[in-house]
Structure 1
Amino acid sequence: MHVDEYIDIEGLKQLFSKDRLYKEVLKDDLNEEMLFPSFIKELKLTRVYTTEEVSKMLNKKDSNIRYYINELNEYIKPMKPNRNYRYDYIIIYRIYLIILFTSSAGRKICDIKRILNDVHLDPRVQEIEVLKEKVDIVEQHVNQLNQIKKLHNERDSNIKNIKNKVHKNQCQVIEIDLKLDELNNQYFKTMVNIFETERRLLHLDNELFQGIQRLELQNRLYAIESAIHEKNKSLFDKISSVFNSGTEASSSTAESNLLVVQKEINNEKELLIKLEKEREMILMEREKVADLKIKVLKGD
């Protein structure tokens, strides 16, 4: 509920500035709280109240409220859209002035009638006063409406400013999202380059490993072949010396030497076969390692 829906006390003072009963009450030199108690300040501009609600505000019985209306109907001017009375904030304050005035000892309703119906006043003047009062009421409502309009304009302006800020923040969020997307793309490209570099390094490492293995194997095979060649040469030399010897003793010795050399050759052949098998196993293991690295590089 907005503050602008409640009455303005300063406006109420101006509205009743020419009210005769209000002027009489002011002569009692009452304080602000007595003239405008809290329930008056909480009255709303556009709302109308029932007799029961008004009686609770004024702490009076319903019968008292009806009595005031019957005795001072022309002053109070209650609304009666149907068989029940209705009261706006102006009517309620008039009733409150009646109660305030009669609360002093010796004052009665007849005194209020005398004040309101001064015989010395020209009837035309009274009519003008009534019209002025109505004009003041209209002006009061116009002022209140202008205040409401001003507050609504301020609210609309605030809403517009908030929307502009929200739009600006949304644009900033979009820019940040675009920058994040760009950074993510750069990160992805960098990761792809790193992966490609690692793949090349693995490939080079595999080639280096295979080259070292081939070199070691070739060196071992070369050493074995050289040893076999030396053994064959030694055997050939021994066989030649046996056939070149002319004695039986020499033949027997040559035959014995030949058996020894043949045995050595057989041993060397067995060693060669072993080395060939070892070579095949090394080649098979190298192929397995190469296949594994290829799978790693492909991401399988």
Structure 2
Amino acid sequence: MYADEVNNLAREIMLEKEKAASALELERKMAEEKLLEELRHKEEEADLKLKKAELLSKSEIAAAVAEEKLTYMKDVRNVKQELEALHMILSTQSEDFHQSHTVHKLAVGAFALEDAMKRGGPLNKEITLISSSYGDSGSDPLLDAVISCLPEAAIKRGTLTPSQLSQKFEDLKSEVLELSLIPSTGGGLISHVAAKLVSAMKVKESGRHSGGIAAAVSKVQCYLAEGKLSDAAEVLENGVQGTKAEVVVADWVKSARDRAVMEQMLLLLQAHATATASSLA
């Protein structure tokens, strides 16, 4: 009987062990499943955080890029504004420099023209210098008008100076007085002899004669002394009109008028250069 109890007890112990083992195994499995579940949960949380981090990172990057782009655009706009301002300054300075250079060339040309006229030499170089003062950038209507009015012969060969005109007139005076007594249609030997005698008398009296060619000669001398070349040419031309002296004085009259035109144009050029320079001051 004792043995039966032992056997029963042994079976009970075995059953208890089996139950305990089963319980342990169940607990182990449950713990393992719980651990795995927690691990999966942790992994999901980690993935979610990673995705959030990636999204946040992309947003931050996008925001940073947008901000950088905005800053760049602002910088570009500022640089563009600075460049435009600089361009305006440079354009103004360039225009001022060009105008200053133009005025300088115009003034130099005008003074060179005056010097050449004092010498009575050709004026080609001086006129070319004045004409080129505006370069390729444009022209000056007043300057163009002045140059177009200049006598071509005076530009190529120059003009007689006032002193040369006075001297040449003195050389012509006797012949003018003589030929002015002969009609342009001509005259015989007696007419020529008589003209010489009368002209000799008129030369002596020309200083106090009040009319005729002698008076004209006297006026011409006065106008030459005053520098009124155009008036001198007109008086002489009218005084010898219809006489043989017309041909003799023709070159002198033209030379005097050419010189008068050149002097008037020179004064106009110098005044124009001065006015232009004053406008830039």
Q: With structure 1 as the length reference, what TM-score do the two structures score?
A: 0.38
Q: With structure 2 as the length reference, what TM-score do the two structures score?
A: 0.40
Larger RCO of the pair (alpha carbons < 8 Å, separation 6+): 2
